[in-house]
Amino acid sequence: MRSQIHLFWGNMLFERSQVECKLGLDGWKKNLDAAVERFKLAGASEADISLVLKNHFSNGDGVEVDGKKVQNLGSDVPVEANKYNEILSGK
């Protein structure tokens, strides 16, 4: 149950950072960092977190989170549409 709460909380923070980034508001990076922390508390793997970060609106060539640059994997890498939801639901 606790892991699900962290996942839902992380998802809310992630989505908020998406909207704030798209609108050009300050603070989106703070919310993205907090989302990553929640995903880690939920037990998400680094690979899963990297995949979610790759899909963030700010990620043209990469986004920096917790001092680490996460590179865009490129459009030639197949990504399932439901992978994001699977990560957040803990599957």
Residue 71, H or E segment = strand 68-71
The structural domain count of the chain equals: 1
- Answering whether pTM is above 0.85, one says no
Alpha-carbon distance 63 to 7, whole Å?
20
Alpha-carbon distance 51 to 62, whole Å?
11
- Residues belonging to the chain: 91
Kindly give the confidence (pLDDT) of every residue in the chain, 91 residues in length, as a single tens digit, with 9 standing for 90 and above: 899 999 999 999 999 999 999 999 999 999 999 999 999 999 999 999 999 899 888 776 444 555 655 444 343 333 433 454 455 555 5
The reported pLDDT for the residue numbered 9 is 96
**Domain range for 15:** 2-89
Biggest CA-to-CA distance, the chain? 36
Q: Which two tokens stand for residue 32?
A: 């993205």
Tens of pLDDT, residues 24-48: 999 999 999 999 999 999 999 999 9
